């Protein structure tokens, strides 16, 4: 259990009106920023999806974001997925919205008044230790942090056992920073082809975390390289790579650069919810 989880009840469902308004303002600001960046880059409106990075936020805060227009969420830690999923699933079912895997059942239980009209994909965006795979598989649609054949094989084995298909993004360490997870850029194409060929997984794209520097050119070069890698994987025609389309790149600080370089999913936390009180 991570220390901050002792300080904050992440299953809490009730937040005050001022906090809900703050979050709604954050969502609207980020959606406006995405629309502006799409226009500036000459990209189609709506071509970039916004994933709310919800680590350290409680169920009430996440619901406020969803009520303000968030359609996709991502957690870093399996334990946070486990703690928040039941409350989120139930509150969303009341609104006719299914969450992650298995949200459809909850909507059915919520009764006829709650026919599912919408679905909120649930992603895991943080490192996954293999002993936690079983915790997240019943809940998350896509694991964005797959960076080795060993991890992919373990997820594939579990998924096959459960008779499900799990979406995966291959995480690439484009910046080369040692603190970051992700495979080496030079291995990405080979790994993607091998993951694509595994049963139980659907390779949906690539993910990276932007370089932690102040140099725009360096940050953009990493994003552009991820895009070219994705294009090469798609062009290879290799088995199981036809859906390798997503580029999950761009966070609060570098979202606009990422959108200019072709991002299809931006993962934003701070600009929606404010600064994190816990790491
Ligand atoms: C926390 C996190 C984000 C969002 O970061 P912000 O700077 O708060 O927008 C995105 N991706 C990953 C993998 C994260 O851990």
One pLDDT digit (tens) per residue for the chain, 279 residues: 566 677 789 999 999 999 999 999 999 999 999 999 999 999 999 999 999 999 999 999 999 999 999 999 999 999 999 999 999 999 999 999 999 997 777 788 887 666 666 999 999 999 999 999 999 999 999 999 999 999 999 999 999 998 999 999 999 999 999 999 999 999 999 999 999 999 999 999 999 999 999 999 999 999 999 999 999 999 999 999 999 999 999 999 999 999 999 999 999 999 999 999 876
Q: Would the CB of 252 count as within 6 Å of ligand 1?
A: yes
* Bridge-based pairing state of the strands 118-120 and 122-124: unpaired
Residue 49, pLDDT score: 98
Residue 1, pLDDT score: 52
Atom 6 of ligand 1, residue of closest alpha carbon: 269
- The CA-CA-CA angle for residues 211, 79, 110, to 5°, reads 115
Residue 48, pLDDT score: 98
Listing DSSP states for 114-152 in one string gives G---EEE-EEE-S---GGGHHHHTTT-SEEEEE-SHHHH
Scanning the structure block, which residue is given the tokens 């934003």?
Answer: 268
| Cα–Cα nearest to 244, from 200, 189, 199 | 189
154 membership: H or E segment, kind and range: helix 149-162
What is the distance in A from the centroid of ligand 1 to the CA of 226? 18
Among 2, 26, 53, 55, residue to substitute to test ligand 1 (most atoms within 8 Å of Cβ): 53
Q: Would the CB of 249 count as within 6 Å of ligand 1?
A: no
Q: Would the CB of 155 count as within 6 Å of ligand 1?
A: no
Residue 126, pLDDT score: 97
- How far, in whole angstroms, is CA 242 from its chain's centroid? 20
Listed in sequence order, the residues at least 6 apart from 168 whose beta carbon sits closer than 8 Å to its beta carbon are: 142, 143, 144, 146, 152, 155, 195, 201, 202, 203, 204
pTM recorded for the entire structure: 0.96
Structure tokens at 64: 């406020």
> Quick check: 138 and 166 in contact, CB under 8 A?
no
Rounded distance, CA 152 to CA 181, Å? 15
Atom 12 of ligand 1, residue of closest alpha carbon: 125
Reduced to 3 states (helix: H, G, I; strand: E, B; else coil), residue 170 is strand
Residue 111, pLDDT score: 74
């Amino acid at each position: 259990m991570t220390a901050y989880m002792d300080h904050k009840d992440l299953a809490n469902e009730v937040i005050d009106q001022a906090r809900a308004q703050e979050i709604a303002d954050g969502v609207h600001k980020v959606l406006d920023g995405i629309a502006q960046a799409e226009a500036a880059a000459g990209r189609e409106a709506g071509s970039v999806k916004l994933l709310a990075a919800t680590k350290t936020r409680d169920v009430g805060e996440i619901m406020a974001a969803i009520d303000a227009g968030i359609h996709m969420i991502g957690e870093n830690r399996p334990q946070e997925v486990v703690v928040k999923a039941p409350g989120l699933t139930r509150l969303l079912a009341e609104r006719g919205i299914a969450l992650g895997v298995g949200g459809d059942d909850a909507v059915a239980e919520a009764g006829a008044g709650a026919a599912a009209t919408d679905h909120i994909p649930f992603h895991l965006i943080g490192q996954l230790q293999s002993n936690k795979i079983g915790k997240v598989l019943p809940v998350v649609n896509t694991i964005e942090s797959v960076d080795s054949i060993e991890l992919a094989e373990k997820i594939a084995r579990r998924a096959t056992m459960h008779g499900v298909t799990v979406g995966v993004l291959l995480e690439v360490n484009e910046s080369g920073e040692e603190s970051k997870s992700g495979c080496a850029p030079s291995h990405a194409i080979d790994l993607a082809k091998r993951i694509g060929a595994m049963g139980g997984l659907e390779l949906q794209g690539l993910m990276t975390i932007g370089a932690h520097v102040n140099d725009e050119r360096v940050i953009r070069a990493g994003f552009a390289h991820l895009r070219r890698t994705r294009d090469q994987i798609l062009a290879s025609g290799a088995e199981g790579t036809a859906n390798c389309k997503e580029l999950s790149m761009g966070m609060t600080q570098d979202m606009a650069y990422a959108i200019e370089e072709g991002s299809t999913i931006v993962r934003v936390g701070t600009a929606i919810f404010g600064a994190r009180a816990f790491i």
